[in-house]
Structure 1
């Protein structure tokens, strides 16, 4: 699908899981990239009520003729420094994640990749460098339904994970790791020298986008650690330690207080907990899929 939209004729609407995004933009390259990644969930027409209304625009300064830039605006604010215009797409992706992380406090937000197999979900918490996004990408390329590579959006009242399937930003060596794992992986443009290094995005598959209203039940909790040259090793994790680590890997645990404590307690009670060391996706993915298959 090719979308035609601009700040002159009103925003387009994108569904991002439980969130509705209005996007104003005029740069044709940015527009084409958004369309390529999110065509199935793009709507056009009358304006709607949005959770987030985002503007990607070029600053009106003399610099636009020499080194064009783009800015991210939300509610009249510019929370980030301007970026090169040809980095508008990664800026939009990071900006939308920032919007969710700083405002969506009706959910417990785990810093985790989440992948569903049927109605049950694998949660992969971790800090940058742990390999959670790379593992999420690889599992989504082998039949897992991408909920998110960044957010475990847990609805505490019903203990269900909400999907927010987005482009997965692969950074630096992770790009080659995914291409070695799947040479046909649908990757977008290369963005060199971003604030996070060299970045390419993996396109979310059409099934994950089409099913983004379908929640999943937490079933497996795996804390991954990428270690160069290490053999793949999946070992059970004590639930008390799993609780501490998961609370640490939450964007809003302290803010939600007792609600977060009770939600993490309930989640830990219903999942199997593991640590996972890995270095090679060809070996790592079968180990995790075997874990999922063992519960069938």
Structure 2
């Protein structure tokens, strides 16, 4: 696979030979190696607004990820993810090769980056104020995140809130929004202009599809913001839209439960969590109607 820039467009040849793509997903540079056309095509579609570089030894790379077919003993119908040459995961069906890349990137950041505080949360921003959406899998945070990004909010991250330990600012980590099952059709209807990658069936999470970040979010990926709200969303079918104040002490405890590396950071982690909560209004949020949810959060800005 050969990579070059041509009139601002990414050009990938169809050679079978595996070569490296260097992709800037701020604040990191990621080297991706693959010969699988499905992975190449999906990266080309979902990351078309990002900076690509020709890889050479002079460029510092944070992470090396390789996605290839399994070997003879693994079976050529499987995909294997290599992180820095190692295989920390069991292989997956070849049809899931692209989400394997996204999941592998999540894992390597959560497992190795300890100069930031990392929370399992989505983050969006508007008018300089960041909103952290924190919750367990299935709570509806990615669905709500995608709906808000489709209605004027800037995407910071769908999977991970990254907090600068020196300034307590949130750092953008802009990547495609991962949606599951019924949320895919819901967001395609709610944000008809959104660009989606292919659907991946029979994964451990059900059906998965990725919504491409809008160009504005990618362009502003260097622009940090302070938290203004911390919200714990919960989708409940046919429920009323209900926003309730949540105690700050309990908020700290919930964020600790949802942190990837709080225990690694000791006093730095505790201090930054307390600062984050002190500066934020904290809420529990129950919803079923996306229109009402987006209007409610826009009203918080007023």
Q: Which TM-score applies when normalising by structure 1?
A: 0.93
SS where residue 102 of structure 2 aligns?
helix
Q: CA deviation at 1:63?
A: 7.1
Supply the distance in 2 between the matched residues of 1:178 and 1:263 (Cα, whole angstroms). 33
SS where residue 209 of structure 1 aligns?
helix
Matches within 5 A, 1:1-296: 1-4=9-12, 8=17, 10-47=19-56, 48-61=59-72, 68-291=77-300, 293-294=301-302
SS where residue 260 of structure 2 aligns?
coil
Task: Supply the RMSD in Å over aligned alpha carbons.
Answer: 1.7
Supply the distance in 2 between the matched residues of 1:248 and 1:62 (Cα, whole angstroms). 39
Moved >4 Å (runs of 4+): 5-9, 62-65
Supply the distance in 1 between the matched residues of 2:43 and 2:154 (Cα, whole angstroms). 21
SS where residue 96 of structure 1 aligns?
helix
Contact 1:2 1:32 in 2 (8 A): no
Supply the distance in 1 between the matched residues of 2:101 and 2:137 (Cα, whole angstroms). 19
Which stretch shows the higher mean deviation, 247-256 or 135-144? 247-256
Contact 1:237 1:273 in 2 (8 A): yes
Q: CA deviation at 1:286?
A: 0.9
Supply the distance in 1 between the matched residues of 2:176 and 2:88 (Cα, whole angstroms). 21
Supply the distance in 2 between the matched residues of 1:181 and 1:286 (Cα, whole angstroms). 13
SS where residue 129 of structure 1 aligns?
coil
Supply the distance in 1 between the matched residues of 2:190 and 2:17 (Cα, whole angstroms). 42
Supply the distance in 2 between the matched residues of 1:198 and 1:21 (Cα, whole angstroms). 26
Contact 1:35 1:42 in 2 (8 A): no
User: Whose helix proportion is higher, 1 or 2?
Assistant: 1
- How many residue pairs match? The answer is 291
Q: CA deviation at 1:7?
A: 8.6
Contact 2:22 2:55 in 1 (8 A): no
SS where residue 49 of structure 2 aligns?
helix
Describe the superposition over 1:7-26 as per-residue Cα deviations: whole angstroms up to 9, x where unpaired. Answer: 94741111112111011111
- Gaps (5+ residues) in structure 2? 1-8
Contact 1:17 1:163 in 2 (8 A): yes
Q: CA deviation at 1:62?
A: 7.5
SS where residue 81 of structure 1 aligns?
coil
- Gaps (5+ residues) in structure 1? none
Contact 2:18 2:35 in 1 (8 A): no
SS where residue 90 of structure 1 aligns?
helix
Describe the superposition over 1:250-295 as per-residue Cα deviations: whole angstroms up to 9, x where unpaired. Answer: 111122111111001111111111111101212111111211x22x
